[in-house]
Structure 1
Amino acid sequence: MDLELALRMTEAALKQAVREGALVSVAVVDAGGHLVSFQRMAGAEIAGPVLAPGKAYTSVALRAATADLAPLVAPGGELFGLTGDRFVCFGGGIPLWADNGEVERVAGGVGVSGGTISQDVACAEAAALVWRTR
């Protein structure tokens, strides 16, 4: 994950947000969950600068889209009790996969917050598409 690619990804998410009619924050992290790029649209919600990086981090740490985690962290779920201020388990975070020829691994993640869950997911998917077509 490099800065130039991460910036292209955040721009793609913001363009999708405009199409969706949403005001969002978007974060791209590397394989260690460290922030590489972050942008917040003017007027986006106050929680976005916390939730977007949290969704990106969560998608890397758990190697799963955050939209898929809600039933797992609910009572009786495999991840019930998962706590911590860095884990955000609702839609808008997507892991970014890389294949080195032998093993597929998580190379980073994208997180979007500020719209509805479906808007956040659509914006994160737009960013992930840039990753997949790089």
Structure 2
Amino acid sequence: MRTAYLEGRSIAALARDHGVSRGAIRTGVADLLPEHTASGADAPAPLAVTLDMPSKVADYLRTTELEPAERGALDQGMTVRRGQGYTLRVSAIPAVHRGLLARCQPLDGGQGLPAVPAQRKARREYGNRVTALTP
């Protein structure tokens, strides 16, 4: 549970997974919480942000090699049906979202891959959401 928290899992998601209250999870990771480690002097740790990822981006990322935190965020994303397709609602810290965006760069074409307009548009859409996050 502590490892999953350090990899970016939210307290609420851990509580659901383990069938306990959020307070129980907070107690288990108390020494890892931002208010415990920052002690008011440093900037607080980044909070998880939920962004909708187009299905074309999510499908591509599922087939690529990812860091454990990126894979965890992608695997724990919630599928939201949209007409005939879907959107993946991903909760992660901004750094993980930026890493996922960087990994789907080939969808723009290049690196020997042809650009597919729908994939390029989906990547741009996710990119706009990620760049709107504060640094």
Q: Given the two structures, how large is their TM-score scaled by the length of structure 2? A: 0.31
Asked which structure has the greater RCO (Cα within 8 Å, sep 6+), the reply is 1
**Considering only CA atoms, is the larger Rg found in Structure 1 or Structure 2?**
2
Answer 1 or 2: which has greater strand percent.
Answer: 1
Q: Given the two structures, how large is their TM-score scaled by the length of structure 1? A: 0.32
Answer 1 or 2: which has greater helix percent.
Answer: 2
